[in-house]
Amino acid sequence: MSEIEKRISQFFLCLFFAMAFAVLVTTPIYAGGYDNALNGVNGYNAIFDVGQGNPKVANIVFWAVKNTYEISEVNALEKAPRIAVVFHGPAVKLISSDRNPFNATEWAEVVKFQETLRQMKKDGVKLEVCLYAAEVMGVDKDTIMPEIDQVGNGFVSVIGYQMQGYALVSIP
């Protein structure tokens, strides 16, 4: 291959990567396309039934939970979404001020998660914890974040929200 052919090849390779980069940075990673899902929907209500207790996973999942009411396609609906979250099982440890179940790295994730929940509460999201689950998991109800309403049995809350027309999203 001659020197000119190498330079032409390099030029086109650079051009290809530049164009690919331009497409990637100008296209949203999580582009919508909710035309089918939101067709005929005026607004929605969702209840998130949360049992999983890994703080790192919780931060990833709750980015998506927040996104369900923050994205423009949902905000463009006629009625604002109503969102509720009920914590049970190992998830109750994530909403407590008790550091004992976590190492330092995990606790940093818990702090981040709790800050997300505080913001969600400010956004109008209803947050509830099952006190039966807290007792079973050894979480003192006095250590539970004040932003979270305490209920005796979280299953009653989940069923009640469903009876009010909330769609159930389970996060086991």
The two tokens of residue 144 are: 């539970």
Express each pLDDT in 43-63 by its tens digit. 999 999 999 999 999 999 999
pLDDT at 8: 62
Express each pLDDT in 80-134 by its tens digit. 999 999 999 999 999 999 999 999 999 999 999 999 999 999 999 999 999 999 9
138-141 contacts: CB < 8 A, separation 24 or more?
Answer: 139/92, 139/93, 139/96, 139/98, 140/96, 140/98
Question: How would you write 87-140 as a 3-class SS string?
Answer: ECHHHHHHHECCCCCCCHHHHHHHHHHHHHHHHHHHCCCEEEEEHHHHHHCCCC
Taking all residues of the chain, what is their mean pLDDT, rounded to a whole number?
A: 89
Examine the pLDDT at 16 and tell me if it is beyond 80.
Answer: no
pLDDT at 4: 67
Question: What separation in angstroms does the CA of 151 have from each of 4, 34, 66, 154?
Answer: 75, 34, 22, 6
